[in-house]
A and B are shown apart, each in its own frame.
Chain A
């Protein structure tokens, strides 16, 4: 017994010459209008745009020309911008580890150790570290452990500063 779904699955393979119809399948194709219509469709689809001819040599010449062109390098971020980015990154990492408690579904407070070694923080100078800690102190009432600062959190002035740095 040939089922239509099974025959449908084999149509592409037969149309591409990977397989051939069994006698029973051929008989089914003659008897089943639905399968016959699909088979016509698959055959026509298999030959669609068969005469499209590309100019491979021309494509290769142009492709190699383009690939030999150096990739335009983005201008490295300026030093102040790098520092701002480092501070922001360090603050984001610190937020993950320094928030003191995490409440479980049972409402039992679990204390997370607050002493975490962060090499990024060690590289900050006194002012940068102060800025990070100020941000942490000031933001505890609005920042949950799951919410990290995003670009949208920047004030207009901060955003302008970043854009100014990017624009040189």
Chain B
């Protein structure tokens, strides 16, 4: 996350909300610019048969630009003013402790298939955050993918992404 301990925040290791605020609103301004540019590309006026494709999105982009721009400018104007707490440092750390494995998990689905990746994710969480022993970890992390397999692939006939292990087993 964006660190901004700020020398004036003596109360504790917390992250102020002015950076996140500015970044999110700047991001929205960026989206607005993308929307407006593309609407101009496809045309925001009238063709022979009625409004062009960019007609409606163009105004959406304008309103988005105005609203997010006002949040951005408001944040920048009050930059030196009060800086309400966004989150404590250790809170952000625990958010990242979930977010990073989630990212790895999503990458893992593409590579290993959803069953093996889910097994790894659950096992990691139970060992790392739950401090479970191997037996409990093993039972839960194996059982959940098996139940998922039974419900989705067998019962509802919904195919889920598979990886090398499944092709080895011939599933």
A, B from the same assembly:
no
B binding-site residues for A, Cβ under 8 Å = none
